[in-house]
């Protein structure tokens, strides 16, 4: 191998664009070892060529060019170890974030499959049952209603939830839920406030920002279709509870399985109604 190589030869030997070599020269990452006084041509030594695969490799690992320049010095093991340790920490943080994203996407996919399965069932009498409402770790806030609201409640809080999760780096993974202190006022659209929840991935960093909800017995029923008809489902639950002599607390949760985030067709909305039991009957 010749002792000196032109920029064109280096480009071919190392499979690197000439414009990239010129850019590395401009920023001081890989400067030519000498310039011809006659034509100002760039010439690189064997040592210069030896640095190119290192630059490529460190870039592949995610190191910044400014850090790579210091790592190429190779005069002190401690310097290289320090950069490796810092990048390892960054990669571990990225892995943790990716694991959260993977879990959240997987749960949303599972939720969609659940909704599709419910929609695929032939229309029949609603299945009303008593079940345990699972315990969720959630991000929550109180939404105060200033005027009578329309039936499609989710538009009131979804933007706020996304903003809160983004601000605090929380990953929501389950359906949005609303809590109504009095489901009769919910049906009549006369409520003045609603508690909003969404399940988030629980870790030590967000413990102070989240709260638990659930973990109790409740009547559960699935409402299919537009929110404007949800009052009829509530009335059917009330009648069922009266026949079964089950005491309702009067409150309700709405768990949005398929909502406007998933479909533009309101006839395909799937909403689980969850009515806590064990208190005074709601009238």
Q: Based on the fold, state whether residues 41 and 151 are members of the same structural domain.
A: no
How many structural domains compose the chain?
2
56 in helix, strand or coil?
Answer: helix
Q: Based on the fold, state whether residues 164 and 68 are members of the same structural domain.
A: no
Among 270, 152, 255, 157, smallest CA distance to 199 is for: 255
On the question of pLDDT at 223 being above 90, the answer is: yes
Q: Based on the fold, state whether residues 128 and 222 are members of the same structural domain.
A: yes
129 in helix, strand or coil?
Answer: strand
Cβ atoms of 8 and 14 within 8 Å: the answer is no
Residue 120 token pair: 């695929």
More confident residue, 273 or 149: 273
Residue with tokens 């030594």: 45
201 lies in a domain? yes
Cβ atoms of 62 and 83 within 8 Å: the answer is no
CATH number for position 59? 1.10.1660.10
Average pLDDT, the chain: 87
Q: Based on the fold, state whether residues 132 and 47 are members of the same structural domain.
A: no
Cβ atoms of 256 and 158 within 8 Å: the answer is no
Q: pLDDT of 55-78, one tens digit each? A: 999 999 999 999 999 898 877 788
261 lies in a domain? yes
**In this structure, what are the phi and psi dihedrals at residue 62, rounded to the nearest 5 degrees?**
105, 5
In which band, very low, low, confident or very high, does the pLDDT at 154 lie, cut at 50, 70 and 90? low
Q: Based on the fold, state whether residues 11 and 59 are members of the same structural domain.
A: yes
In DSSP notation, 165-207 reads HHHTT--EEEEEEEEES-HHHHHHT--SEEEEEEEE---GGGG
Q: Based on the fold, state whether residues 124 and 235 are members of the same structural domain.
A: yes
85 lies in a domain? no
Q: pLDDT of 30-60, one tens digit each? A: 999 988 887 878 899 998 999 999 999 999 9
Cβ atoms of 52 and 10 within 8 Å: the answer is yes
pLDDT score, position 205: 66
In which band, very low, low, confident or very high, does the pLDDT at 191 lie, cut at 50, 70 and 90? confident
Burial (0-12, 13-18, 19+ Cβ within 10 Å), 72:
middle
Q: What is the DSSP letter of 134?
A: P
Q: Based on the fold, state whether residues 199 and 268 are members of the same structural domain.
A: yes
Q: Based on the fold, state whether residues 116 and 68 are members of the same structural domain.
A: no
Q: What is the layout of strands, in order, in the sheet containing 5-6?
A: 5-6, 42-44, 34-35
pLDDT score, position 253: 96
Q: Based on the fold, state whether residues 235 and 121 are members of the same structural domain.
A: yes
89 lies in a domain? no
Q: Based on the fold, state whether residues 59 and 126 are members of the same structural domain.
A: no
Which residues lie closer than 8 Å to 229 by C-beta, 6 or more apart?
223
Q: Could you tell me where the DSSP H helices lie in the chain? A: 7-14, 18-27, 46-61, 65-71, 77-120, 158-167, 183-188, 230-244
- The range of the structural domain enclosing residue 63 comes to 5-75
Among 248, 155, 235, smallest CA distance to 194 is for: 155
On the question of pLDDT at 281 being above 80, the answer is: no
Show which of 27, 58, 75 is a domain's final residue: 75
Q: Based on the fold, state whether residues 60 and 115 are members of the same structural domain.
A: no
pLDDT score, position 280: 47
Q: Based on the fold, state whether residues 66 and 117 are members of the same structural domain.
A: no
Show which of 25, 56, 75 is a domain's final residue: 75
The CA-CA-CA angle for residues 77, 80, 86, to 5°, reads 135
Spatial separation of the C-alpha atoms in residues 270 and 267, rounded to whole Å: 9
**In this structure, what are the phi and psi dihedrals at residue 181, rounded to the nearest 5 degrees?**
-65, -30
């Amino acid at each position: 191998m010749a002792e000196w190589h032109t920029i064109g030869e280096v480009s071919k030997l190392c499979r690197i664009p000439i414009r990239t070599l010129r850019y590395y020269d401009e920023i001081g990452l890989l400067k030519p070892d000498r310039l011809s006084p006659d034509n100002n041509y760039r010439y690189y030594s064997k040592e210069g060529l030896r640095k190119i695969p290192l630059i490529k490799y460190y870039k592949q690992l995610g190191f910044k060019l400014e850090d790579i320049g210091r790592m190429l010095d190779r005069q002190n093991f401690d310097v290289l170890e320090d950069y490796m340790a810092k990048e390892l920490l960054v990669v571990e943080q990225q892995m943790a974030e990716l694991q959260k994203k993977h879990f959240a996407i997987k749960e949303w996919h599972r939720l969609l499959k659940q909704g599709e399965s419910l929609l695929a069932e032939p229309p029949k009498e609603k299945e009303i049952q008593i079940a345990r409402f699972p315990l969720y770790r959630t991000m929550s806030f109180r939404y105060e209603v200033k005027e009578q609201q329309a039936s499609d409640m989710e538009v009131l809080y979804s933007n706020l939830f996304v903003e809160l999760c983004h601000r605090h780096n929380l990953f929501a993974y389950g359906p949005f839920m609303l809590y109504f202190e009095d489901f009769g006022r919910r049906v009549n659209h006369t409520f003045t406030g609603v508690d909003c929840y969404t399940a988030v991935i629980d870790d030590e960093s967000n413990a102070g920002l989240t709260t638990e909800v659930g973990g109790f017995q409740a009547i559960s029923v699935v409402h299919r279709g537009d929110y404007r008809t949800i009052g009829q489902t509530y009335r059917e639950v009330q009648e069922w509870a009266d026949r079964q002599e089950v005491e309702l607390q009067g409150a309700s949760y709405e768990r949005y399985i398929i909502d406007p985030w998933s479909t533009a067709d309101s006839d395909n909305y799937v909403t689980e109604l969850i009515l806590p039991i064990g208190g005074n009957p709601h009238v």
